[in-house]
Structure 1
Amino acid sequence: MNRINIIASGEVQRVGYRDFVTKIAKKNNITGIVRNCPGYDVEIIAEGNEQDLEQFVSQIKIQKDPIFVESIKIEPGTYEGKWKYFEIQRGSPDEELGERLDAAIVYLVRIDSNSRRSVEIGELMLEKQDQMLDKQDQMLDKQDQMLDKQDQMLDKQDQMLDKQDQMLDKQDYQISLQKGTIQEIQEMRSDLKDSLQVRYQNIEQQLHEIQTILKNAGMMS
């Protein structure tokens, strides 16, 4: 087992530093004492095995408002085993009361500062939310405009489809007329052919009759 004597300097008195050191010591199986020194430092006498002492020393270098350990001076000591626990060696009642009151004031100031900071952060978040809502409104407006344009495009497409239907109807009508005209032409050609055939047959018959008359008259052999 080993013993070390520690002097912690910085913002370590009247800020609750001794209470934190006591909790850290208990967590690391350290025995000994912590007490305020005349002036502004805190003295720590710690006993335990080497590994626990190293862990203890690394954890008491607290730099979290309102505590700020600027430096730690460590000197080896002779292990005595005189303490069963780790405890705070307190001063006079008036001194300890003043320490408690000062620590309480420091923590209240810290709480007030944190509360103000929380309010500021909350206000910033609300401003950002308002900005996000404004952007969402703008996006919704743009979406509405896009939907209006889409509706206009659909209306134009419907108009184009109507015109296409009209054109197709006209094409169908023209095709129907063309078919009727072709059929009429075909019928006329058929009638003309029949008429020509009849006339040709009549001419042939007349020629045959003329030839017969001429033969009978001895004018043709």
Structure 2
Amino acid sequence: MLTHHFIVKGRVQGVGYRFFTYHIANEYNIKGWVKNLWNGDVEILAQGETRHIEVFKKLLEAGPPSSKVKNIEEDVFDGKKYDDFDIEY
């Protein structure tokens, strides 16, 4: 299963970014997780159909209204299969 690993940089903590990600992941049937990192970035692992991942990434770039995404780093690799999408703490 192809896994997309995203690191989202910018003003993405304290603005509802994880909950925004959770909701769009469920809307597009994306599996994986999202969590805040100690340095202010947000980390996401995502699995799904290629066309859904493409839309998902575009929505991540926009973010919720109070966020300001500066950059998204992406890696793709084979990973374990996820059954749902979670917010990690």
Fold-level similarity (TM above 0.5)? yes
Aligned residue runs from structure 1 range 86-125, under 5 A: 86-90=85-89
Amino acid at match of 2:83: K
Identical pairs, percent: 33
Deviating beyond 3 angstroms after TM superposition, the runs of 4 or more aligned structure 1 residues are none
* Structure 2 counterpart of 1:205: none
Normalising by structure 2, report the TM-score: 0.91
Q: Secondary structure at the match of 1:60?
A: helix
In 2: Cα distance, 1:63 partner to 1:47 partner: 19
Amino acid at match of 1:27: E
Q: Secondary structure at the match of 2:9?
A: strand
Aligned residue runs from structure 1 range 1-221, under 5 A: 1-62=1-62, 65-81=65-81, 83-90=82-89
In 2: Cα distance, 1:70 partner to 1:58 partner: 13
How far has the Cα of 1:64 moved from its partner?
5.2
Could you give the per-residue CA deviations for residues 116-154 of structure 1, whole angstroms, max 9, x where no partner exists?
xxxxxxxxxxxxxxxxxxxxxxxxxxxxxxxxxxxxxxx
Normalising by structure 1, report the TM-score: 0.39
1:16 to 1:78, Cα distance in 2 relative to 1, 3 A: same
Higher helix share: 1
Which structure's CA Rg is the greater one?
1
How far has the Cα of 1:63 moved from its partner?
5.1
Asked if the contact 2:31/2:83 (under 8 Å) is kept, the reply is yes
Q: Secondary structure at the match of 1:87?
A: strand
1:54 to 1:78, Cα distance in 2 relative to 1, 3 A: same
Asked if the contact 2:10/2:71 (under 8 Å) is kept, the reply is yes
Q: Secondary structure at the match of 1:9?
A: strand
How far has the Cα of 1:4 moved from its partner?
0.6
Q: Tell me, which stretches of 5 or more residues in structure 2 are unaligned?
A: none
Amino acid at match of 1:88: I
Asked if the contact 1:2/1:50 (under 8 Å) is kept, the reply is no
Question: RMSD across aligned C-alpha pairs, in angstroms?
Answer: 1.3
In 1: Cα distance, 2:18 partner to 2:79 partner: 22
1:65 to 1:52, Cα distance in 2 relative to 1, 3 A: closer
Asked if the contact 1:47/1:79 (under 8 Å) is kept, the reply is no
Q: Tell me, which stretches of 5 or more residues in structure 1 are unaligned?
A: 91-221
How far has the Cα of 1:79 moved from its partner?
3.1
Q: Secondary structure at the match of 1:61?
A: helix
In 2: Cα distance, 1:52 partner to 1:2 partner: 13
1:28 to 1:10, Cα distance in 2 relative to 1, 3 A: same
Matched residue pairs, number?
A: 89
